[in-house]
Amino acid sequence: DVKVTQSSRYLVKRTGEKVFLECVQDMDHENMFWYRQDPGLGLRLIYFSYDVKMKEKGDIPEGYSVSREKKERFSLILESASTNQTSMYLCASQGDSGANVLTFGAGSRLTVL
Amino acid sequence: QKEVEQNSGPLSVPEGAIASLNCTYSDRGSQSFFWYRQYSGKSPELIMSIYSNGDKEDGRFTAQLNKASQYVSLLIRDSQPSDSATYLCAVRVGQNFVFGPGTRLSVLP
């Protein structure tokens, strides 16, 4: 089974801090995604990457950046955290062959004070 | 804007009944459709995928796809309290996956 590991389950940060959310997958998948999930709004795509050093903006990229230096690792960066970025962040991975499905990590719940 | 719509619920059914969850999507070019289950505080997990018109059965779950009408449904037979969760419909659009807001299902003992 594909394993997607998010390094931090719970984080509390202060407004203006720089925040790194790390995601690692172990199945050599090409495609990786970052979503945020908020009550009543569902999952919204922030960024995705289909190869090393490649990235594409999703629906809500403002205030976020990403890094994919190695195939297995996809990082989400909040350059200057704000209270409206308090949310659940979900990383997902997907291969180009086979079942064509998304597999999610356990999620990182970020609170910005 | 590619959209996926679901009734937010909550949908309440008695234990042993059939739960019916529906989803509509706007992009006629979509080819891949998924149902995910999400328990409170957990991440989504895949239940079913469906790619062609008709029904696909897996145990107590049946996914139904009608591309002409642009809807996907999920039937859960013999519903159990452990099925109580939020069910997310997802549609692949190009390289992206677009999710609906989810339907909260409550199975009453």
**Furthest CA-CA distance within chain A:** 42
* Predicted confidence (pLDDT) at residue B14 exceeds the cutoff of 90: yes
Residue B3: partners with Cβ closer than 8 Å, 6 or more residues away? B25, B26, B98
Digit-by-digit pLDDT tens for chain A (113 residues) are 668 999 889 999 999 999 999 999 998 888 999 999 998 888 999 999 999 989 999 999 999 999 999 999 999 999 999 999 999 999 999 876 555 789 999 999 999 99
For residue B30, the model assigns a pLDDT of: 87
Closest CA to B86 of B32, B30, B47: B47
CB-CB under 8 Å, A31 with B92: no
A63: left (phi over 0), alpha (psi -120 to 50) or beta: left
Residue A73 corresponds to which tokens in the numbers above? Answer: 């690792």
What residue in A sits closest to B87 (Cα-Cα)?
A42
- Residue pair A58/B99 in contact (Cβ under 8 Å)? The answer is no
State the average pLDDT over residues B12-38: 94
Best residue of B7, B46, B97 to probe chain A, by most A CBs closer than 10 Å: B97
How much is the CA Rg of chain A, to the nearest whole Å?
A: 13
Cα–Cα dist B12/B106, whole Å: 5
For residue B9, the model assigns a pLDDT of: 81
Least confident stretch, A4-13, B61-70, B81-90, B91-100: B91-100
For residue B7, the model assigns a pLDDT of: 85
Q: What is the pLDDT of residues B40-56, one digit of tens each?
A: 989 999 999 999 999 99
CB-CB under 8 Å, A40 with B95: no
Helix residue spans in chain B (DSSP H): none
